[in-house]
Amino acid sequence: MPDLIPLLPERNHQYRDCRPCSECCWVLPLAVGHIDPHSKSLGQPCNRLASGGCRIHAQRFELCRRFQCTWLSDSKWNDSWRPDLSGLLCLREWIDEQVPAAIVYELRDGVIGSPEAVEILSELCRTTVSVTVIGRDDSRQRLVGAWKPDEAKNFVTLGQIREKSAA
C-alpha cells in the first residue's frame, strides 16, 4: 500500500471546483509530515475535514492544492463522474514518465458494477495501459488498457537491456 498521495504535474483546473466533494480527504493515505506530524491511514478522514468539506480549503496545504483526481484534471469527464457522485475516485499516473496508468478506489459497496462505473472504467482502459481497481475490502483487480505508445516514442525493450548488460 503506498503511503503518499500521488502528486501529478500541476494543471489549470479553474473550470472545475472539487467542492463539495471531499472523497480524497477520506480515502487517500498521507505519510507522516506531509501536512502535519501524524500520518493518515487509508480510509481515515483528514483531521481538517468538517461536515461541509475542508475547513481550511482557501488556505489548504500545497500538497492538497496540487492534487488532482482524474475528474478534476480532465474537462472531458462528465460532471456526474465526480468522485462523490460516481462513487469512484480515479487517479491517473505515469509509469516511467511515458506510460499512462490509473488507480480507481471504490468508495461505496457495489458501485463498481454500476453502468456509470463501467463507462468510467472503459474510458480509463481506453486511455491507459493498466487500471488497478481497489475495492472497499482492499481487494485489487487489474484491467488491461488499450493505450498504445506513438511509434515515434523511444521505448527500451527487455532484449535491448540484455544486449547492453552482455556488452
Neighbours of 159 (CB within 10 A): 8
Q: How confident is the model at residue 1 (pLDDT cuts 50, 70, 90)?
A: very low
Predicted model pTM: 0.77
Query: pLDDT by residue (tens digit) across 123-137?
Result: 999 999 999 999 988
Diameter over CA atoms, the chain: 62
Q: What is the pLDDT of residue 163?
A: 58
pLDDT at 82: 96
pLDDT of 41 strictly over 50? yes
Residue pLDDT, tens place only, 85-136: 999 999 999 888 788 999 999 999 999 999 999 999 999 999 999 999 999 8
Backbone angles phi, psi at 120, to 5 degrees: -65, -50
- Residues 147, 15: Cα–Cα separation, whole Å: 27
Q: Which of 4, 60, 13, 74 is nearest to 33 (CA)?
A: 4
Cis peptide before 20 (omega within 30 of 0): yes
- 44-77 pLDDT, tens digit per residue, is 888 888 887 888 878 888 888 888 899 999 989 9
- Grid cell listed for 109: 459497496
